[in-house]
Amino acid sequence: MSFFGIIFLRESYNKKKLLAISLVIISVIFLLFNFQSTPWVGLIVAITWSAYNLIRKKLKVPAEIGLFIESAFMTPFAIIVFYVLSRDGNNFFSTSDLKISFWLFLAGAMTLIPLYLYLKGVELAGLGATGMIFFLAPTGQFLLGIFYYGEYLDVNKLISFVIIWIGVLIYLIDLKNTQK
């Protein structure tokens, strides 16, 4: 996202920010060459999430209105999916199990609230800073996979992880120093 911010939104940059972004790109390329297969899902999620943020930033629509429009746009698709699932007997919203219905209903708010706060952050800080801070979520998932689920950590993943976080720290420290 920081890369998109510099290219498409003319966000400010300096040598340290370019070094940080370059380290992240080099780390991703390093991982791509050391995987047996290309992680298409991860690449598509990264590109579409960056494009989504770029579009949101370019439109300059307040987070509240933008989320309302997005929700209104997705509602017909959600209704169709809900209908198809319920027709096939996969309806989990029912009066037979109110507890699961409550948790499924609450999942919407638990998705919407963090997205709203993130979009407000993008409005205030720009794509560069939020892009680097956004590495916290995948880092948490990475650490959870290793320490909780016992996922195997090979040297290539560890090297890539360290390089990415060096880049993130360079970017965030430079951001902090430029805002003083």
pLDDT of the residue at 2: 65
pLDDT tens column, 68-95? 998 899 889 988 988 887 787 776 666 6
Asked if the structure places residue 44 within a domain, the reply is yes
> What are the structure tokens assigned to 121, written together?
């952050």
DSSP letter (8 states) at residue 151 = -
Give the pLDDT of residue 32. 86
Q: What's the pTM?
A: 0.68
Q: How far is CA 36 from CA 39, 51, 114, 127, 170, in A?
A: 9, 27, 34, 32, 30
**30-42 confidence digits (pLDDT tens):** 988 888 777 788 8
pLDDT at 171 over 90: no
For tokens 């892009």, the residue is 131
Supply the Cα-derived Rg of the chain in whole angstroms: 20
Q: Please indicate, yes or no, if residue 112 is contained in any of the structural domains.
A: yes
Which tens digits make up the pLDDT trace of 93-106? 666 777 877 887 78
**CA distance to 28, 117, 143, 161, 169, per residue, from 151 (Å):** 20, 31, 9, 15, 25
CA dihedral 93, 98, 100, 101 (to 10 degrees): 40
Q: Please check whether residue 69 lies inside any domain of the structure.
A: no
The domain in which residue 127 lies consists of 2-61+91-178
* Helices of type H across 38-62: 40-59
Determine the pLDDT at residue 95.
Answer: 66
- 78 falls within a domain: no
Residue 80 lies inside a defined structural domain of this protein: no
Provide the pLDDT for residue 163: 92
Query: Does some domain include residue 79?
Result: no
Please compute the mean of the pLDDT values over residues 169-179 and round it to a whole number: 81
Provide the mean pLDDT of the chain: 82
Q: What gap in Å lies between CA 7 and CA 98, rounded to an integer? A: 49
**Rounded-to-integer distance, Cα 78 and Cα 118, Å:** 23
- pLDDT surpassing 60 at residue 1: no
Q: At which residue do the structure tokens 């998932």 appear?
A: 141
Q: In Å, what is the CA distance from 123 to each residue of 101, 140, 152, 176?
A: 34, 24, 38, 18
> Would 122 be classed as within a structural domain?
yes
pLDDT tens-digit series, residues 114-169 = 888 888 887 887 777 777 777 778 888 889 999 999 999 889 889 988 998 898 88
The total domain count for the chain is: 1
The verdict on residue 70 lying in a domain is no
Q: What is the pLDDT of residues 46-68, one digit of tens each?
A: 888 888 888 888 888 888 898 89
